[in-house]
């Protein structure tokens, strides 16, 4: 099973993905948590470049996808084959939202590349943590070159468009609310959608 968390910078997805990881572990489930870009030695090196260097948008796209391929091969596939629950802090929707809707790269091309880089693996469920860019930017502790309000507005619209198109898979959560309230919705959604796996 693959659960992904998506949202703009400062939306709280890192906090929520860690909370879910701890919660499922305490429940005795075999679970892993990775972040994109990252999660492998090469992925972490690419992450450093992607966050800190000014790059052409095509280079940016290709490096995100490269980091993803390594993560899928080295971590995601082996874990899923062992029957683990895998939680990802960002996955293919981030690339479509940031490089497609945000940077303006061709959406269909980005989708194809996403599929290529991830070997066609799709999340079973995606939590989109939705927030106003103005509020989100105020919450960010470690600034990156993606934290610009006008850019994040386009990215947010992209995420919401993906959620409209794939409403079965993508669950939108309003994160202007408190952390515990949002986490309550996540637990409830999982137990309703997958009662055989999560009976809490
Ligand atoms: P992340 O560490 O999740 O940022 P934060 O914790 O601040 O939300 O991701 C790093 C940055 O990489 C983030 O600004 C979003 C960007 N990103 C893309 O532009 N495309 C992608 O495909 C991915 C995975 C991330």
Question: Does some domain include residue 184?
Answer: yes
Question: Does some domain include residue 127?
Answer: yes
| 18 pLDDT above the threshold of 90 | yes
Residue 144: which pLDDT band, with cuts at 50, 70 and 90? Answer: confident
Mutate to test the pocket of ligand 1, among 98, 127, 145 (most ligand atoms within 8 A of CB): 98
| 166 pLDDT above the threshold of 90 | yes
Question: 200: CA distance to ligand 1 center in Å?
Answer: 31
Q: Which ligand 1 atom is nearest residue 68's CA?
A: 24
Question: Does some domain include residue 95?
Answer: yes
Q: Which ligand 1 atom is nearest residue 146's CA?
A: 14
pLDDT digits (tens, 9 = 90+) for 65-101: 999 999 999 999 999 999 999 999 999 999 999 999 9
Q: Give the pLDDT of residue 1.
A: 97
| 14 Cβ below 6 A of ligand 1 | yes
Pairwise CA distance, residues 151 & 60, whole Å: 15
* CATH number of the domain residue 143 falls in: 3.40.50.300
Q: Which ligand 1 atom is nearest residue 145's CA?
A: 14
What b/e readout covers 152-178, taking b as 16+ CB neighbours within 10 angstroms? bebbbebbbebbeeeeebbbbbebeee
| 130 pLDDT above the threshold of 90 | yes
Q: Give the pLDDT of residue 142.
A: 78
Q: Give the pLDDT of residue 141.
A: 78
Give me 9's structure tokens. Answer: 């910078």
Question: Does some domain include residue 200?
Answer: no
Q: How many domains does the chain have?
A: 1
Give the domain extent around 98: 2-194
Find, among 148, 126, 174, 108, the residue nearest to 17 by Cα.
126
| 175 Cβ below 6 A of ligand 1 | no
Residue 199: which pLDDT band, with cuts at 50, 70 and 90? Answer: confident
| 7 Cβ below 6 A of ligand 1 | no
| 143 pLDDT above the threshold of 90 | no
Mutate to test the pocket of ligand 1, among 90, 110, 127, 139 (most ligand atoms within 8 A of CB): 90
Question: Does some domain include residue 110?
Answer: yes
pLDDT digits (tens, 9 = 90+) for 22-43: 999 999 999 999 999 999 999 9
Q: How many CB atoms lie within 10 A of CB 190?
A: 23
């Amino acid at each position: 099973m693959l659960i992904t968390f998506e949202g703009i910078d400062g939306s709280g997805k890192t906090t929520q993905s860690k909370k879910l990881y701890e919660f499922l572990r305490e429940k005795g489930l075999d679970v892993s948590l990775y972040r994109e870009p990252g999660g492998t030695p090469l992925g972490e090196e690419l992450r450093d470049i992607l966050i800190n260097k000014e790059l052409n948008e095509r280079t940016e796209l290709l490096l995100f996808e490269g980091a993803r391929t390594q993560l899928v091969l080295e971590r995601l596939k082996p874990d899923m084959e062992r029957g683990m629950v895998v939680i990802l802090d960002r996955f293919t929707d981030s690339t479509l939202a940031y490089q497609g809707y945000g940077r303006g790269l061709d959406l269909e091309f980005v989708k194809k590349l996403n599929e290529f880089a991830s070997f066609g693996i799709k999340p079973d469920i995606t939590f989109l943590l939705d927030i106003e860019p103005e509020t989100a930017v105020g919450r960010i502790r470690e600034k990156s070159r993606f934290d610009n309000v006008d850019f994040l507005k386009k990215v947010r619209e992209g995420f919401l468009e993906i959620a409209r198109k794939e409403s079965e898979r993508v669950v939108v959560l309003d994160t202007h609310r408190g952390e515990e309230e949002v986490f309550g919705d996540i637990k409830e959604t999982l137990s309703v959608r997958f009662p055989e796996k999560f009976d809490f």
